[in-house]
Chain A
Amino acid sequence: MIQYLVLSAVLAVAWSAVNGSFSVVNILFGFALGALTLSLVRPDLNLQGTKVRPLRLLSLIGLFLVELIKSGIRVAKILMRRDLDLKPGMVAYPLADLRDFEITLLANLITLTPGTLSVDVSDDRRLLYVHCVDMPDAQAVIDDIRGGFEKKILETFR
């Protein structure tokens, strides 16, 4: 229930943001609408037991932004090469014991940061298959994720 209300509040903020007005009436209306739309999909919202540490969340966002720009530049660099000698490959990243929501977040963050692309999650949720655009070393990729996004996610939501 709490999660539901929190999400409704998030939607209320989103509503107000797109409306460009954080007046009380508007926020309330947004909240009501958010709650209504959420109620339609509620059985499929899988958020039980999730809690958020706001500061860690900020840190996660910060990491993401830095990674985003860093790897954007990396792709640019690759493209600048004349011969485009790439070594693409796939790794199976062994996931820590993450919940669906966390897996999703991790996978999306991985995808958004250039160089890596989440392809699939194994049925037992133990492996995340990641495609790398230029992967001289698979273990380096795994270590990168483990020490980066996965760690931050665990910190934020546990």
Chain B
Amino acid sequence: MSSILAVLTGILLLVGAGFALIGALGVLRFPDVYTRMHAASKAGTLGSGFCLLAVAVNETSFDVTTRALAGVIFFLLTAPVSAHLLARAAVLAGYVPLGTGKNPVLSSVQRKVASPRSAKDSARP
């Protein structure tokens, strides 16, 4: 049993490391900030998630397992939020995604910029 778990742990770790490397390569190789965001938000989450899963699997003590799983969930909760906010901010700030220069979708998002500030965005709900 423990040796199966050990092997599983090792595999999970390697998968996680692989995803992390993919994310790193993606961030390095992708052509613009939005495509890099894809690599970061996904591969980062997967990489750290699998490593945490490896911890959960490897450890026989209950508290560590539950905590590691909690960690995975924490990542899943937060990662998309930051990705979304950053992407949105970049679009609104005027960073034009590659290949979408004349894209009507983009301009409809960006139109918000042209509108008065208070309507566009306010931290005060």
Q: With A90-B106, A108-B80 in contact, is A72–B43 under 8 Å at CB?
A: yes
B contact residues around A91 at 8 Å (CB): 105
A19 close to chain B: CB less than 8 A: yes
B97 close to chain A: CB less than 8 A: yes
Give the complex CA separation of A133 and B25 in angstroms.
15
Contact of B66 among A20, A86, A90, A123 (CB under 8 A): A20
Interface-facing stretch out of A28-36, A52-60, A114-122, A147-155: A114-122
Say whether B35 contacts A20, CB under 8 Å.
no
* CB neighbors of A among B1-53 (8 A): 18-19, 22, 25-26, 29-32, 34-35, 37-39, 41-43, 45-46
Say whether A119 contacts B87, CB under 8 Å.
yes
Measured CB to CB, the residues of B under 8 A from A are 18-19, 22, 25-26, 29-32, 34-35, 37-39, 41-43, 45-46, 61-67, 69-70, 76-77, 79-81, 83-84, 87-88, 91, 97-100, 103, 105-106, 108-109, 112
B contact residues around A116 at 8 Å (CB): 38
Give the complex CA separation of A71 and B46 in angstroms.
11
Say whether B35 contacts A133, CB under 8 Å.
yes
Say whether B67 contacts A17, CB under 8 Å.
yes
Give the complex CA separation of A108 and B85 in angstroms.
11
Say whether B88 contacts A119, CB under 8 Å.
yes
Say whether B81 contacts A108, CB under 8 Å.
yes
Say whether A131 contacts B43, CB under 8 Å.
no
Query: Chain B contact residues: over half helix, strand or loop, or mixed?
Result: helix
Measured CB to CB, the residues of A under 8 A from B are 14, 16-21, 68-69, 71-72, 75-76, 79, 84, 86-92, 107-120, 122-123, 127, 129, 131, 133
Query: Chain A contact residues: over half helix, strand or loop, or mixed?
Result: mixed
Chain A's closest residue to B62 (CB) is A20
Say whether A90 contacts B31, CB under 8 Å.
no
Give, as a whole number of angstroms, the nearest-CB distance from B15 to chain A. 9
Give the complex CA separation of A111 and B79 in angstroms.
9
Chain B's closest residue to A20 (CB) is B63
Q: With A14-B70, A72-B46, A120-B91 in contact, is A89–B103 under 8 Å at CB?
A: yes
Give the complex CA separation of A86 and B36 in angstroms.
12
B contact residues around A75 at 8 Å (CB): 22, 26, 38-39, 42-43
